[in-house]
Amino acid sequence: MSLQKKDFFFQNINIVKGVGPQISKYFKKKKIEKIKDFLLSFPYSQTDRSQLSKLNELQVGKIQTIKVLVKKLSFPRIRNLPNKIRCEDDTGKIDIVFFNSREGYLRKIFPINKWVVISGKVNFFRNIYQITNPDYVADLENIDFVAKNIPKYNLTEGITEKKYRLISEKIFSKIPLVDDWLDESFIDSNNLSNWNKAIINLHNSEDFKDRQSKSYRRLVFDEICANFLILSESRKRIKMNKESKNFKKKLSSKILGQLPFDLTDGQKKVLNEINSDLQSDKRMFRILQGDVGCGKTIVSLLSIINVIESNYQCALMGPTEILSYQHFKLAKNIFRKININIEFLSGNTEKKIKDEILKKLEDGKIDLLIGTHALFQKKIRFKNLGYVIIDEQHKFGVRQRSELAKKGGKNCDLLLMSATPIPRTMMMSLYGDMDISKIIGKPLSRKTTITLSKPEEKIDELWIYLKKQINQNNQIFWVCPLIEESKILDYSSAKKKFDTINKKFPGKVGLIHGSLSKEEKVIVLNKFIKRKIDILVSTTVIEVGIDFPNANIIIIENANKFGLAQLHQLRGRVGRGNKQGTCILLFKDGLSKNAVKRIKILKKSDDGFFIAEEDLKLRGFGDLAGFQQSGVKNFRFADPFENQDLFNLAESFIINLNQNVNKSKYNFLLKLFDKADIVNLD
């Protein structure tokens, strides 16, 4: 494709005639800044204006198209009265009514005794049909512009359908024929369309309605390919040669022998995979997935000790200070009988202590540094960093993963951990640049949490039960649904529930809500951890991964407001000690079919991966709020559940790409989907 052709799609929308500064601002509200943004913004429906109706066939309230003769123009001189144009055909009469229209303009488009084509919504007033402020008025020469199926777009204020269409026609009249990056035989054999034809059809036919149309399938395939290409390039750049780490395994064997429990088969398998990578001559870039409570942290700490024994430093980063500090305490406990130096660092670490840590780190006197994202500030320098572990990394996209990999230098291995179960159908599209380990199963000592459901009108039955639990030294979470539209409503809802429970259990209840600062939340959580309060009322999702060993009961109000995956994560906050956990789902009457299904699935299974798959089936990829919030939803058109065949096709396509192929052939594709700058392509 020539440079000139390629550039057309990435020009600013204001190069199109009729798109001035004001229209550009309106388009920007719709995230349309370049011509390619316009082309990738498809209609959501069509208006059928194709049939020409006689005046005696009109139906009130419907959009209809008529061909009529202009007979009389009326321009009243009294303010606020509308202008009227009387028209007729051989079957009747109609008034075309305009508010706030200039007389000169109307005389121009409604010449007396000339036939015109008009399209708009039909009304009936004072015994005569009317069309008020019609959508289209044209002379007979331009009848084809009006009398057709016209695409409907999500318009922004300031841009009418007619204006949008005129801009669209100008763009499509100049759109160049691009050299397709897919071979014709591949296109035909996989029920796809060529690129130019697909883009045109998605705007000017009903293909946009049909997700199985060749045009829509082509766009979906291209989007998946752009994503997979980036993951493939990222993988090549990260998994470069390194010095292999020489494991002696003396310390790890000692620690394994001192653990008060045996590793599960799933933990052993994953630990072997990680150790194999660490000892190889290629950098490790792996994600460790595991369901709530499967023992990921222990596995990561056991892999760390081998690296330290090989004379490298390690870093473990958690998403919050409280979770990172929990990892620090666990590491200190597990490694207490061996001579290694472990330090903790966060944004709240005192300057004097921080300066001491930085000096010791640079001198190689710290073996393991645990903390928050503060670990990756520019001024923090390791003497010989060999291994980085990032816990709860679901907010890290491809770009952030690449940047993290650079931090440690060429001999640094990287392990990401996630307790958010990702459906199998989505794994390849999210983590195609990484090797994937998954811990199957949970420690034998971990009891399955009992899940119950109860209608909210029977809430009073809970008070006696909760009193009994508190007397048995159990703690309770009480989760209210988050009111995202308003922090004030969010607070008042949680405060109301807090007041109710506090009357029943005075002085034993804490509250976390959306308006609290991070520091205030930490204070309340610490009170709960130290058992100064027995019940914690919360509107926010309780920190993933944090251990509250005495919290064995969780009550989730309006359980139908949460997705399956969210409910499973919340349920995973309890039963983390040696006692039985219980999850009580409160619900209102009149549940939808899907809400009933979600509750049944949750009561039937505690397998996070099964639940994630079922959630995807019930809600669809585009509606998985948890993924959208975490930045995982990185597709605009493709759906890993609906388009599984295209994901598989794209995966094999990328794998089979000749290593020596000219990658610039795909630069246009990457730029279309805003991926090119991730791998610094021109």
Three-state secondary structure readout of 81-106: CCEEEEEEECCEEEEEEECCCCHHHH
- What is the model's pLDDT at position 626? 39
Residues 288 and 342 grouped into a single domain: yes
In a domain, residue 507? The reply is: yes
| DSSP type of residue 281 | S
Number of domains in the chain: 5
Length of the chain: 682
279 pLDDT above the threshold of 70 = yes
Considering only CA atoms, which of 369, 340, 341, 335 is closest in space to residue 254? Answer: 335
Rounded to an integer, what distance in angstroms lies between the CA atom of residue 557 and that of residue 474?
20
What is the CA 300 to chain-centroid distance, rounded? Answer: 27
Neighbouring C-beta atoms of residue 535, cutoff 10 Å: 24
Residues 257 and 325 grouped into a single domain: yes
Distance in angstroms between the alpha carbons of the first and the last residue of the chain: 14
In a domain, residue 394? The reply is: yes
On whether the CB atoms of residues 29 and 59 are closer than 8 A, the answer is no
Rounded to an integer, what distance in angstroms lies between the CA atom of residue 135 and that of residue 141?
17
Reduced DSSP (H G I as helix, E B as strand, rest coil) percent helix, strand, coil of the chain, to 5: 45, 20, 35
Go through 605-636 and write b for each residue having 16 or more CB atoms within 10 A of its CB, e for each that does not: bbbbbbbbbbbbebbebeebebbeebebbbbe
278 pLDDT above the threshold of 90 = yes
Phi, psi of 109 (to 5 degrees): -90, -10
Per-residue tokens: 604: 């039937």
- The pLDDT tens digits for 164-174 are 999 999 999 99
Residues 255 and 303 grouped into a single domain: yes
Considering only CA atoms, which of 625, 619, 651 is closest in space to residue 566? Answer: 625
pLDDT band of 122, cuts 50, 70, 90: very high
Residues 589 and 473 grouped into a single domain: yes
Mean pLDDT (the chain) is: 85
Residues 586 and 456 grouped into a single domain: yes
Site of tokens 């001559």: 281
- What is the model's pLDDT at position 533? 94
445 pLDDT above the threshold of 80 = no
Per-residue tokens: 278: 């660490």
Average pLDDT, stretch 578-595? 83
Report helix angle 608-619 to 593-604, nearest 10.
170
What is the CA 553 to chain-centroid distance, rounded? Answer: 30
Helix/strand number for the chain, H first, E second: 25, 22
Residues 26 and 146 grouped into a single domain: no
Q: Which domain holds residue 523?
A: 450-605
Q: Cβ contacts of residue 449 below 8 Å, gap of 6+?
A: 571, 572, 574, 575, 580, 581, 582, 583, 606
Site of tokens 């289209």: 136
- The pLDDT tens digits for 486-539 are 555 555 677 888 999 999 999 999 998 777 777 788 888 889 888 899 999 987
pLDDT band of 269, cuts 50, 70, 90: very high
395 pLDDT above the threshold of 70 = no
In a domain, residue 302? The reply is: yes
Average pLDDT, stretch 659-670? 74
- What is the model's pLDDT at position 39? 94
Residues 484 and 581 grouped into a single domain: yes
Residues 86 and 28 grouped into a single domain: no
In a domain, residue 187? The reply is: yes
465 three-state secondary structure: helix
- The pLDDT tens digits for 287-323 are 898 877 788 889 999 999 999 999 999 999 888 888 8
Q: Cβ contacts of residue 151 below 8 Å, gap of 6+?
A: 43, 45, 46, 165, 203, 204, 208
User: Strand pairing of 535-538 and 475-479?
Assistant: parallel
Residue 20, class by beta-carbon neighbours within 10 Å (0-12 exposed, 13-18 middle, 19+ buried)? exposed
- The pLDDT tens digits for 10-68 are 999 999 998 999 999 999 988 999 999 999 999 988 899 999 999 999 999 999 999 99
Residue 308: CATH number of its domain? 3.40.50.300
Rounded to an integer, what distance in angstroms lies between the CA atom of residue 644 and that of residue 494?
41
| DSSP type of residue 456 | G
Residues 277 and 334 grouped into a single domain: yes
In a domain, residue 134? The reply is: yes
Residues 147 and 190 grouped into a single domain: no
- What is the model's pLDDT at position 214? 95
- The pLDDT tens digits for 148-168 are 999 988 887 788 888 999 999
Residues 457 and 599 grouped into a single domain: yes
Residues of the chain with pLDDT > 70, as a percent, come to 89
**Helix (H) or strand (E) segment spanning residue 288:** strand 285-290
- What is the model's pLDDT at position 629? 35
Phi, psi of 58 (to 5 degrees): -70, 145
For the CA atoms of 317, 321, 323, 324, the dihedral, rounded to the nearest 10 degrees, stands at 40
The one-letter code for the residue type at 254 is: K
Average pLDDT, stretch 66-93? 93
Per-residue tokens: 393: 């990394």
- What is the model's pLDDT at position 624? 40
